[in-house]
Amino acid sequence: MSVYDYIIVGSGIAGLYTALLAREHGSVLVLTKGSLDECNTRYAQGGIAAAIGEDDSPDLHMDDTLKAGGDLCDPEAVRVLTEEAPDRIADLIKLGVAFDTLNGEINLAREGAHSVPRILHAGGDATGERIETTLGVRLRESRISFLENSLLTNILVDEGGARGVEYLEVGSRTRHQIGCTYLILATGGAGQLFRYTTNPSVATGDGVAMAYLAGAEIMDMEFFQFHPTALKLPDAPPFLISEAVRGEGGILKNSLGHAFMKDYSPQADLAPRDVVARATVREMRKASTDHVLLDITHLPSQRVTTRFPQIYRFCLSQGLDITTTPIPVAPAAHYMMGGIRTNSWGETNIKGLFACGEAACTGVHGANRLASNSLLETLVFGKRVVERTMDGSKGVAHYPKDDSLYLRVPDRAALTGQNPPPTLERLQSLMWESVGMERNEQGLMLALGTLAAWQGQLSDHRDRPSAELRNLAITGRLMAEAALLRRESRGAHFRLDYPETLMEWRRNIVITRGE
Ligand X SMILES: Cc1cc2nc3c(=O)[nH]c(=O)nc-3n(C[C@H](O)[C@H](O)[C@H](O)COP(=O)(O)OP(=O)(O)OC[C@H]3O[C@@H](n4cnc5c(N)ncnc54)[C@H](O)[C@@H]3O)c2cc1C
Does position 240 bind ligand X by CB under 6 A?
Answer: yes
Q: Nearest distance from residue 22's CB to ligand X, in Å?
A: 14
- Whole-number Å distance between alpha carbons of 190 and 188: 7
Alpha helices in 291-420 (DSSP H): 301-307, 309-317, 373-390
16 or 448, CB closer to ligand X? 16
- Does 65 sit near ligand X (CB under 6 A)? no
Backbone angles phi, psi at 176, to 5 degrees: -140, 160
Q: Are 270 and 46 in contact (CB under 8 A)?
A: no
**Which residue's CB is nearer to ligand X, number 147 or number 451?**
147
Q: Does 342 bind ligand X (CB under 6 A)?
A: no
Verify binding: residue 469, ligand X, rule CB under 6 A.
Answer: no
Mask 183-222, x = binds ligand X (CB under 6 A)?
---xxxx--------xx--xx--x----------------
Nearest to 224 by CA among 332, 117, 99, 375: 332
Report the amino acid identity of residue 422. Answer: P
Q: Report the catalytic residues.
A: 273
Long-range Cβ contacts of 84-87 (<8 Å, 24+ apart): 84/380, 84/383, 85/49, 85/50, 85/51, 85/52, 85/58, 85/61, 85/376, 85/380, 86/50, 86/51, 86/52, 86/58
Residue 420: CA count within 13 A, CB half-sphere? 8
45 binds ligand X (CB under 6 A): yes
Q: Residue 501 CB, nearest distance to ligand X (Å)?
A: 25
Binding segment (CB under 6 A) for ligand X, from list 41-49, 306-314, 410-418, 499-507: 41-49
Please pick, from the candidates 152, 261, 484, 509, the single residue that binds ligand X as defined by CB under 6 A.
Answer: 152
CB of 340 to ligand X, least distance (A): 11
**Distances from the Cα of 355 to the Cα of 21, 204, 442, angstroms:** 15, 16, 34
- Tell me if 34 contacts ligand X by CB under 6 A: yes
Beta bridge partners of 28: 6
- Residue from 23, 29, 47, 273 touching ligand X (CB under 6 A): that is 47
Instruction: Please list, in sequence order, all residues whose beta carbon lies within 8 angstroms of the beta carbon of residue 301, skipping any fewer than 6 positions away.
Output: 323, 324
Which one of residues 7, 8, 15, 332 is an interface residue with ligand X (CB under 6 A)?
15
According to the binding rule CB under 6 A, does residue 354 interact with ligand X?
no
353 touches ligand X (CB under 6 A): no
Q: Which residue is nearest to ligand X (CB)?
A: 12
* Nearer residue to ligand X within complex by CB, 45 or 181: 45
- Residues lying near ligand X in the complex (CB under 6 A): 9-15, 31-34, 38-41, 43-48, 127-128, 151-152, 186-189, 198-199, 202-203, 206, 240, 335, 357-359, 372-375, 378
